[in-house]
Structure 1
Amino acid sequence: MDSDAAAKGTGSAATSSSSSSLAAASSAPMERNNSQSSTHKPGHLAAHRQSFVENQRYPPPSPRDRRHPSFTQQALLDLMNHPPSNRHPNPRYAGRDWRDVGVGELAVPEDVRWADLDLSVQDATMLLLKQNPTNVVLVRETPSSKTAFTTFDYTDLNAYLLVVVGLANPDEEHVGLYNEISKKAQAQEDIPLREIQSLSRKEELVALPADATLDRAVEAFGSGIHRILIISETGDVIGVLTQLRLIEFFWNEAVNFPAIERLYVSLLRDLQIGTHQTIAINLDRPLTEALLLMHNEGLTSIAVVDQGLNVVGNISTVDVKHLTHAASLPLLKSSCMNFISVILSERGMEHGRDSFPVFHVNPYSTLGHTVAKLVATKSHRMWVVESASPSPSAPATPLLQPSQPAGALPTAVGAVGSPPLSSVLIPPPAAASPQSPLQSQASFAAATVIPGGLPGARLSGRLTGVVSMTDILNLFAKSSGLRPSDPSEQRARRRRSSSSSVRPSLDSARPTL
Structure 2
Amino acid sequence: MSNDNALHQLLTSVSCRDLVDRTQALRSPHPPSFSPPEHPICLDSELTVQEACAALAKHRISSAPIYSSEEGGFIGMLDYKDVVAYVLAVLHKIPHDTVVDSEMEVTDIVKRALTQGHANVPVKLLSNMSLKNPLVVVDAAAPVLDAVEEFVRAKVHRVVVLDKSVDGKPTFLGVLSQSTVAAFVASKFGKLSSARIPGAHWPRGDQTIADLKLVQGEVLSVTPEDTVVEALYRMHENQISSIAIIKKTSDGTEMWGSISMTDIKEVLGRKRGWSQLLQPTKAFFTSLRNTQAIENDGRDAVPSFVVHPSTQVITAIEKMAATHTHRMWVVDNSDGRTRGVVGVLSLSNVMPLLLM
Task: Please confirm whether the aligned pair reaches a TM-score higher than 0.5, indicating the same fold.
Answer: yes
Distance 2:121 2:8 in 1: 52
1:247 maps to amino acid: A
Q: Aligned to 1:267, what secondary structure does the other structure show?
A: coil
In the other structure, the counterpart of 1:342 is 287
Distance 1:335 1:130 in 2: 25
Distance 2:225 2:347 in 1: 28
**CA distances 1:197-217 after superposition (whole Å, capped 9, x unpaired):** 474324322111112122222
Paired residues for 1:68-467 under 5 Å: 96-108=9-21, 110=38, 112-133=40-61, 135-142=62-69, 145=72, 147-164=73-90, 166-167=91-92, 182-183=110-111, 189-197=119-127, 199-223=129-153, 224-233=155-164, 234=168, 235-254=170-189, 255-256=196-197, 261-307=202-248, 308-324=252-268, 325-353=270-298, 355=300, 358-387=304-333, 461-467=339-345
Superposition TM-score, scaled by structure 1 size? 0.54
- Look at both structures and tell me which one has the larger radius of gyration over its CA atoms: 1
Paired residues for 1:50-69 under 5 Å: none
Q: C-alpha displacement at 1:94, in angstroms?
A: 11
Q: C-alpha displacement at 1:328, in angstroms?
A: 3.4
Say if 1:185 and 1:191, in contact at 8 Å, map to a contact too: no
Say if 1:352 and 1:193 are closer, same or farther in 2 by CA, change over 3 A. Answer: same
Q: C-alpha displacement at 1:196, in angstroms?
A: 3.5
Say if 1:197 and 1:262 are closer, same or farther in 2 by CA, change over 3 A. Answer: closer
Say if 1:280 and 1:303, in contact at 8 Å, map to a contact too: yes
**CA distances 1:214-256 after superposition (whole Å, capped 9, x unpaired):** 2222222234321111111133322211000000111112233
**CA distances 1:360-400 after superposition (whole Å, capped 9, x unpaired):** 11111122321121011101011111117969xxxxxxxxx
**CA distances 1:276-326 after superposition (whole Å, capped 9, x unpaired):** 423222222121110111122221111111113332111111100121245
Say if 1:148 and 1:272 are closer, same or farther in 2 by CA, change over 3 A. Answer: same
Distance 2:288 2:93 in 1: 24
Say if 1:114 and 1:137, in contact at 8 Å, map to a contact too: yes
Q: Aligned to 2:43, what secondary structure does the other structure show?
A: strand
In the other structure, the counterpart of 1:413 is none
Superposition TM-score, scaled by structure 2 size? 0.76
Q: Aligned to 1:253, what secondary structure does the other structure show?
A: helix
**CA distances 1:420-475 after superposition (whole Å, capped 9, x unpaired):** xxxxxxxxxxxxxxxxxxxxxxxxxxxxxxxxxxxxxxxx6411111111111111
Q: C-alpha displacement at 1:111, in angstroms?
A: 5.2
Q: Aligned to 1:303, what secondary structure does the other structure show?
A: strand
Q: Aligned to 2:315, what secondary structure does the other structure show?
A: helix
Say if 1:362 and 1:387, in contact at 8 Å, map to a contact too: yes
Say if 1:199 and 1:270 are closer, same or farther in 2 by CA, change over 3 A. Answer: closer
Q: Aligned to 2:309, what secondary structure does the other structure show?
A: coil
In the other structure, the counterpart of 2:32 is none
Say if 1:326 and 1:263 are closer, same or farther in 2 by CA, change over 3 A. Answer: same
Q: Aligned to 1:379, what secondary structure does the other structure show?
A: coil
Q: C-alpha displacement at 1:158, in angstroms?
A: 2.0
Structure 1 portions without partners, runs of 5+: 1-92, 170-178, 392-459, 479-513
CA RMSD of aligned residues (A): 3.4
Say if 1:301 and 1:316, in contact at 8 Å, map to a contact too: yes
Structure 2 portions without partners, runs of 5+: 1-5, 22-36, 95-106, 190-195
Say if 1:266 and 1:335 are closer, same or farther in 2 by CA, change over 3 A. Answer: same
Distance 2:200 2:147 in 1: 17
Say if 1:467 and 1:111 are closer, same or farther in 2 by CA, change over 3 A. Answer: farther
Say if 1:310 and 1:212 are closer, same or farther in 2 by CA, change over 3 A. Answer: same
Say if 1:191 and 1:358 are closer, same or farther in 2 by CA, change over 3 A. Answer: same
Aligned length: 308
Say if 1:143 and 1:346 are closer, same or farther in 2 by CA, change over 3 A. Answer: farther
Say if 1:94 and 1:256, in contact at 8 Å, map to a contact too: no
Say if 1:222 and 1:475, in contact at 8 Å, map to a contact too: no
Say if 1:350 and 1:273 are closer, same or farther in 2 by CA, change over 3 A. Answer: same
**CA distances 1:402-426 after superposition (whole Å, capped 9, x unpaired):** xxxxxxxxxxxxxxxxxxxxxxxxx
Distance 1:202 1:95 in 2: 28
Say if 2:216 and 2:343, in contact at 8 Å, map to a contact too: yes
Distance 1:210 1:374 in 2: 25
Distance 1:144 1:200 in 2: 22
Say if 1:260 and 1:476, in contact at 8 Å, map to a contact too: no
Distance 1:279 1:94 in 2: 33
Say if 1:111 and 1:132, in contact at 8 Å, map to a contact too: no
